[in-house]
Amino acid sequence: MASPGAEVELLVRGPSDLAEVAPEIKAPERQAAVAGADLEWREMEGDDRELQYGGSRSEGRALPFAVADGADEAQDSGFPAVERSRLQELLSLLGLETHQVRKLGLQEALQISSDSVRSWAPQAPRDLPWSCLRKLQALNAEARSTTVVLDPPLDARPAEKESQMEEEVLYWDSADDFSADIYSFSELPTPDTPVNPSDLLCALLLSSDAFLQQEILLRMSLCQFALPLVLPDSERHAHTFLLWALRGVVRAWRAPPPRAAGSLWEDGVVLPRAPTFAFVRMEVSSNSKSQLLNALLSPGHRQRDCFWHRDLSLGSSSREIADGLVEIAWFLPSGREDLDLFPEPAAFLNLRGDIGSHWLQFRLLTEVSSAVFILTDNIGEKEYRLLSSVKGSATKFYFILSPYRGKRNSNLRFLNRLVPVLRMDHSHVLVKVSSTDGTRFLRRVRSILAQVARSPCRRVSVEDMAHAARRLGLRVDEDCEECQRAKDRMERITRNIKDSDAFRREELRLQGELWRKAARVEKELCQAQWAGDPPDKRLAELRHRLLELRTQQNGHSPAAGMQEFIAGVSCPSLGERQYFLRWMEWGLAGATQPRPRPPLETVLALRPKQGGAGALREHLWLEPLGVEHFLREMAQFYEAESCLVEAGKLPAGQRRFAHFPGLALELLVRGLPLELIDGSTLSTPLRWVTGLLKELHGRLGRRSRLVVLSALGVPGTGKSTLLNTMFGLRFAAGRGCGPRGAFMQLVTVAESFSQDLGCDHILVIDSGGLIAGAPATAGERFELEASLATLIMGLSNVTVVSLAETRDIPAAVVHAFLRLEKTGHMPNYQFVYQNLHDTSAPGPKPRERRPLLEQPAEGGRAASPVDKQGDSLRTLAGLSFCDPEKQHIWHIPGLWHGVPPMATASLGYSEAVLELKRCLLENIRNGLSNPNKNIQQLIELVRRL
C-alpha cells in the first residue's frame, strides 16, 4: 500500500520504464493519498496559502492555494460554495443537466434527426453540445466553435420555430410581460460565444458514457485536436485520468530507419513509450503555451491549431470548469527529414490553468515527463517554495520568461537559488520577447526538445502515466469493475494465442476445410436451382453432400476460448458486454505480431490494369484475427444446426445454438459491424442472416421500416471512411489488412423524424474488400465479384459507388447494373470520386459530369450478347435508371490537408461529405430510392438474391 503523499519515482531504466503495474489504490487509500498531498502542500505554504494566483478564473474571489484537485471527499473543505455550483450552472446552460445520472450514449448521439438534412447553426447555448458532436462526426475542423447565431437565415431555422419567428423579439416573446424581462436581458450570456471551448468539451465528456467518450476522442484525434488526458470535475472533487477513453485512438507513422524503413506502422496511442514534454504556466505569463505548442507541432510553414488558444475565433469566454484540464498531443514522424522534428513519436502535455491551483496535476506531469517547460513572468518566494517541493525529480526543467512583464532582478535571484534544486544551468532559461524573431526562438526550443529526446531520457506510455496517476490518487476511468471483469475475460482468451493460424485451427474448428466444402456445395446447389429444371438426382446428391458436411460440423462443440467468448457476449450487464467486445478488438490486435503494411500509393501503383488483381489482392490482404472470426464461428454452429433441423435430422427441442442470432443482434444494435457476406469463402450464411433479421424484426416491433444503403468500390477508394464520417460508424478503414467480408451496421432514425423520412432505421452495408477490381477477362473471379455486387446492390435502396479515378468503375459493378436493369430494380445511385492524392485539385464542373455516365461500360464485354445493342457496348447512360438529372457524380476532396500523419483534416472533405449525406437523406425522404422495405420483405429479398 502506498504511503500517503509518497512520490512516484519514475526514473529512466532503459526500455522497460514503468513496466511494472502499480497496485490499484482502493478508495480509502486514494483518499489518504490525496489528503497527504493536501497536507504536504498546506504545511509548505503555511499562512500564504490563501494568496490568490493570477491563473485562476475567479474574478477577484480568493481561492485556496492548497490542493484543489484531489480525487475524493478529502478536499471538500478547500472549495467555496460558489465553486461547487459552477459545473451545474454550465450544464444547465448547455442543456446537459439531465445527463448527469443518465449518461448520453453513443447510439443516442448518432441518431438521424431533422438536423441531418438541413444547414444548421447553433442558435442558443443548448445547441452547442449537439453541434459539436455533429461536427466531430463529420471531421469538421470547426467542431470546437462555441459561436451561436442569434438571427439565423430563414432556411436554417427549425421548422417548429418558423411560425413564431416574426413574433419573437430576441430572447423574449411579445406575449410575455415586457417590463418583467427588459432588465433581465443584460444578464443573459454573451450572444456570440457564451461558452469557452474547453468548458464545452469538459461538460460534454462529463455527460457522456464511456463509449461515447471514446468516440469523441477518436474523432478529435482524426481532426488533429489535442485530446483530454486528465478531466477535471471540481463539483465531485474527482479528477479522472482518461485511459479507457484514449484506448480507441489508433495512429499511424513511418517507422524509423532501424525498423523497416518506409513502412507504415499503426498502434494504439496508449501503448508506445515515447519522450514526453509538458508545458505549464506558473502564475501569470504573457506568452501563450498553446500557441507555442501549435507552432512547435506545425510542420514546415503550415500552422496547426492542435491546442485551442485565445486568438482562435472559436470562443473567447473565460474558463469556468476546465481549469486543471491536462491535454495531450503527439508528434508522429512522416519519414521526411524536412518535416520531422523527431525520428520517433513524442508526446506533448498541456496543463490548463496555473500550477499552484492544480498541484496534483503538476505533480503528475513532473513524474511522467522527460522535460517540463514552465512559462511565467515572475518568480518570487512563493514560486520558489512551490518548485522546491519537486526537488530530486528526474525531470529536466526549463523556464520561458518574458523580460517586459516580469521583475528582472527578483527573477534572477530566485532562478540562481533554483539552479541546484532543480539540477539545471543557465541554458535551461529561455527569454521570449514577442517582438523578436519568433522563428529563431522556435528553432531554439526545438533543438532543446531534440537534444532531450536523443539523451537517455525518461520514456513513458499513456498506460505508464495511468500507473502514476493511481499512485497519486487520481481516478482512472478504466478501473471500474465492469471494465476490469471484461478485461480479465479477454485475457483468458488471448493469453494462449502464440500463433494466430494455430489458434484458428484449434479454437475456431468450424472454419476449416469442412466450412469451405460446405460453402462450395451450397453455391453449386443455388446455381443448380436457378439454372432451371435441374435433374432431381443432381439436386438430391448436392443436398446429401451438404447434409453430411453439416452433420460433421454439428458434431463439434465450442472450444474453451469460444465458450469464453460466448459467455462474454451473453453477459447480463450490457455495459460489461460492450467493454468485453472493445477489449477483444484490442487484445486480438495485440496478440498478433504487428506487420508493416505497404503505403496506399504502393497499393494503387501495383494494382494491375488487365489481370492478376486477385493474386495481388491475396498478397496484400493479410487478414488478421478479429472479433468477426468468433462471430463467424457462432454463425457456423447456427448454420449447421439449422440445416439438420430443416432436414428433420435433429429435433427442434434439442437445439443448442438457437439463441446465437439474438446475441449477435444485441451487438448490431449497439454499433458493432456484423458480417453479411463471409469474407473467406465469399458466400452468404443464409440461415444466419435470416435468423438475425428475424430477431431484428422482433426487437424493433412497430419501428421496423428499413432503408438499405450500401457502398461499393475497390479497396483504397475511401468508401469505409466516407460511411464512417457520414453516419459515425465503425467500419474498418485506413488499414491495408482489415477484415475482408461485407459488413452491415444499423443507424437509428429519431422517432420525431421517422415519419418525415419515411423509415425508422437505415441499414448500412460496406462491401469491404469484396470488390477487388477484377477485369471482365478474369473468368471465375470476375463472375464471383459481379454476383456479390449484384447481391449487395439488389438489397439496397441507395448505393454509393466510390471511385479513385473518374474512369475507374469496377467491371463487376457495371455488370451488376446490367443484371439489375433486367429485374426492374430501380435504386438510387450516387457516384463518388474521391481525390486520394491532391487535396487542392478542383472538382469536376457540372458539365464535366455527364461523360462519366456516357463512357463505355467495360463490364459489357463480359455481359453476354443480351447486354449489347448491335455492335456497340452499353453505356451507363443507356441504362434506364441511370438518369443524369437524378443521379449525381460527386467530387470529394482529399481527407488530409498536408502530409500525414501530422496533416490536418480538410474542411472541404467534411463539407462535401455532409452535403452528400444531406442529398442521400433528401432522396430517401422524397422517394427517389427504391420503395422502403420492412424486415420481412428484406428477408425474402435475401433469400431470392
Share of the chain above pLDDT 90, in %: 43
- Three-state DSSP at 796 gives coil
Question: What is the Cα–Cα distance from 577 to 483, expressed in whole angstroms?
Answer: 9
- Provide the angle, in degrees to the nearest 10, between the axes of the packed helices 574-591 and 481-494: 40
pLDDT by residue (tens digit) across 339-350?
888 888 999 999
- Provide the angle, in degrees to the nearest 10, between the axes of the packed helices 574-591 and 210-222: 40
Would you say residue 53 has pLDDT above 70? Answer: no
- In single-letter form, the type of residue at position 690 comes to T
Mean predicted confidence (pLDDT) in 669-694? 90
Q: State the Rg of the chain over Cα.
A: 30
pLDDT score of 176: 44
Would you say residue 709 has pLDDT above 90? Answer: yes
Would you say residue 395 has pLDDT above 80? Answer: yes
User: Which of 632, 890, 896, 617 has its CA nearest to residue 771?
Assistant: 617
pLDDT score of 64: 31
Task: Give 149's pLDDT tier (boundaries 50, 70, 90).
Answer: confident
pLDDT score of 194: 83
pLDDT score of 816: 87
Mean predicted confidence (pLDDT) in 28-45? 47
161 compared with 391, residue with greater pLDDT: 391
Mean predicted confidence (pLDDT) in 64-88? 45
List the single range of 204-218, 288-302, 804-818 with lowest mean pLDDT: 804-818
Question: What is the Cα–Cα distance from 568 to 584, expressed in whole angstroms?
Answer: 10
pLDDT by residue (tens digit) across 724-778?
999 999 998 865 556 778 999 999 999 999 999 989 999 999 988 777 777 767 7
779 compared with 865, residue with greater pLDDT: 779
DSSP at 395: S
pLDDT score of 157: 44
Residue carrying C-alpha cell 520561458:
400
User: Which of 334, 346, 350, 337 has its CA nearest to residue 450?
Assistant: 346
User: Which of 122, 163, 128 has its CA nearest to residue 144?
Assistant: 128
How far out from the chain centre does Cα 138 lie?
11
Outline where DSSP puts E strands in 703-827. Answer: 705-712, 742-748, 761-766, 798-803
Q: Residue 804, exposed/middle/buried by CB under 10 A (0-12, 13-18, 19+)? A: buried
Mean predicted confidence (pLDDT) in 435-457? 87
Q: What are phi and psi of 103, to 5 degrees?
A: -65, 150
CA angle, corner 672, sides to 251 and 601, nearest 5?
A: 35
- Three-state DSSP at 843 gives coil
pLDDT score of 261: 47
Question: What is the Cα–Cα distance from 708 to 935, expressed in whole angstroms?
Answer: 11
* Residue 493: its H or E element: helix 481-494
Instruction: Evaluate whether 741 touches 679 at the Cβ level (below 8 Å).
Output: yes
What dihedral do alpha carbons 321, 322, 323, 325 form, nearest 10°?
140
How far out from the chain centre does Cα 934 lie?
31
pLDDT score of 254: 82
Question: What is the Cα–Cα distance from 687 to 415, expressed in whole angstroms?
Answer: 76
pLDDT score of 203: 95
Give the contacts of 407 (CB within 8 A, at least 6 positions apart): 378, 380
Return mean pLDDT, the chain: 78
Instruction: Evaluate whether 474 touches 230 at the Cβ level (below 8 Å).
Output: yes
How far out from the chain centre does Cα 672 lie?
13
